[in-house]
Structure 1
Amino acid sequence: MSTRESILAAVLKNQPPASPLPDLSFFKGNRQDLASTYQAVFTSIGGSVFVVDNLAAVNARLLENFDSTKRLVTTLPDLGEPFDLLSKTADPRTFNDVELAVLEAQLAVAENGAVWLPEQRMGQRIIPYICQHLAVVVRAETIVPTLHEAYAQIGVGDYGFGAFIGGPSKTADIEQALVMGAHGPITMSVFILDRNTD
């Protein structure tokens, strides 16, 4: 037996007894008015939130605020013109001129305004970070109250890469001057897709 094997055998032999995991149920948040809570928190961190009932409303709102002659990309085929559908096989360096990217989040967290974007929903890993402006569509029923509940949902998933993104990129490290878009999107908008909206 090698030294390595003997050390590992000794460690394995001297394991502490198993103990049950702690009860984390007290971390569960209030499930009432999740969309309103999310909207208030996300707005307070510099983002914009819109409650819509379909992707046509998303398209219309974005075209009111963004130049359709610039490069607009999405992972949502139903979003329609003038958005280009992202290619997962394209060279990531070709996305350096993306003005606006529109992605769909797996879920959103009301307590901190974050959205969860696994790699499969990004189109390419670089997209949410290289675009000038980021818009995210999240279904109202996928908003969870707390980050603990978000982790409970995503913990069993198979992700090569994923990120919680909360608000536009900003920093105030230098002389306490707030700079938007320092190392990512200048603006971030979240569209809460609520089929029950009148």
Structure 2
Amino acid sequence: MDSRGKILTVVAENQPENVRLPDISVFETTAGGSLEKFSTVLASVGGRVFYVSNFAEIARLILEWHGEELRIVSPIKELTEFHEINLRYTTYLRELANVEVAIIKACFGVAENGAVWITENEMQHRILPFICQHLAVIIDAGAIVPTMHEAYELISKTIYGFGTFIAGPSKTADIEQSLVIGAHGPRSMTVFVMNNVTG
């Protein structure tokens, strides 16, 4: 047997024993996500939550807050008044440069950190939730999970090209603890909680 064969034989004979994976059931919970906790945590990181009953109410509030003169865009089929451009096929990014308000749906929210999970299917253009001045997100009242452990379990069962967790508006602080809102993204984030969000 040559040297190579001897080495491979020794390696094959000296394999470590199989070790059982650790029990991570400590992270499992039967409790549902708390809307109250989600709202409280999101408010603590600079966001706000409104409970609404339909898309018309969302459109009315957005126009009331921001006015008709500002640029408001949304890929949501129920919000046709904000379908200024086809976001899915936008390749000329300057078209999005002056977006004041973006309204998108989220797949679900996470109670422990006030984050929402959004994929390219919802935003249609991955730059949209970051280039706007104000981000509005619509989420189903029943789509709140308690912790990030459940969140990662959910997203592991889906197929997506790009996805992100977003919690509140853009925030940055320097060593002197001077907090700046909106330096690298939206200056505000509003989550609309609604029953039976479809599509």
Amino acid at match of 2:125: Q
Deviation at 1:121, TM superposition (A): 1.1
TM-score, scaled relative to structure 2? 0.84
Deviation at 1:99, TM superposition (A): 0.4
In structure 2, the partner of 1:52 is 52
Which structure 2 residues correspond to residues 119-158 of structure 1 after superposition, within 5 A? 119-158=120-159
In structure 2, the partner of 1:165 is 166
Runs of 4+ off more than 6 Å: none
In structure 2, the partner of 1:106 is 107
What is the CA–CA distance in structure 1 between the aligned matches of 2:60 and 2:37, rounded to whole Å? 25
C-alpha RMSD of matched pairs (Å): 2.4
The alignment partner of 2:89 has SS state of coil
- Describe the shift of the 1:68–1:152 C-alpha distance in structure 2 as closer, same or farther (beyond 3 A): same
> Sequence identity, in percent?
45
What is the CA–CA distance in structure 2 between the aligned matches of 1:138 and 1:129, rounded to whole Å? 18
Gaps of 5+ in 1: 1-5
What is the CA–CA distance in structure 2 between the aligned matches of 1:31 and 1:137, rounded to whole Å? 23
Structure of higher CA gyration radius = 2
- Describe the shift of the 1:162–1:16 C-alpha distance in structure 2 as closer, same or farther (beyond 3 A): farther
Asked whether 1:64 is paired with 2:102, we answer: no
The alignment partner of 2:78 has SS state of helix
- Describe the shift of the 1:154–1:16 C-alpha distance in structure 2 as closer, same or farther (beyond 3 A): farther
- Describe the shift of the 1:15–1:60 C-alpha distance in structure 2 as closer, same or farther (beyond 3 A): farther
- Describe the shift of the 1:43–1:143 C-alpha distance in structure 2 as closer, same or farther (beyond 3 A): same
> Is residue 54–residue 193 contact of structure 1 (8 Å, CA) maintained in 2?
yes
Return 110-119 or 153-162, whichever deviates more. 153-162
In structure 2, the partner of 1:115 is 116
> Is residue 28–residue 145 contact of structure 1 (8 Å, CA) maintained in 2?
no
Asked whether 1:43 is paired with 2:34, we answer: no
Amino acid at match of 2:133: Q
TM-score, scaled relative to structure 1? 0.84
What is the CA–CA distance in structure 1 between the aligned matches of 2:33 and 2:90, rounded to whole Å? 40
What is the CA–CA distance in structure 1 between the aligned matches of 2:123 and 2:59, rounded to whole Å? 18
- Describe the shift of the 1:30–1:95 C-alpha distance in structure 2 as closer, same or farther (beyond 3 A): same
The alignment partner of 2:100 has SS state of strand
> Is residue 32–residue 145 contact of structure 2 (8 Å, CA) maintained in 1?
no
In structure 1, the partner of 2:84 is 84
The alignment partner of 1:149 has SS state of helix
Deviation at 1:58, TM superposition (A): 1.1
In structure 2, the partner of 1:3 is none
> Is residue 30–residue 145 contact of structure 1 (8 Å, CA) maintained in 2?
no
In structure 1, the partner of 2:24 is 24
Amino acid at match of 1:121: E
Gaps of 5+ in 2: none
Residue-pair matches, total: 187
What is the CA–CA distance in structure 2 between the aligned matches of 1:15 and 1:97, rounded to whole Å? 60
1:49-81: CA deviation from partner (whole Å, max 9, x where unpaired): 001121111111111101222211112110232
What is the CA–CA distance in structure 1 between the aligned matches of 2:94 and 2:20, rounded to whole Å? 48
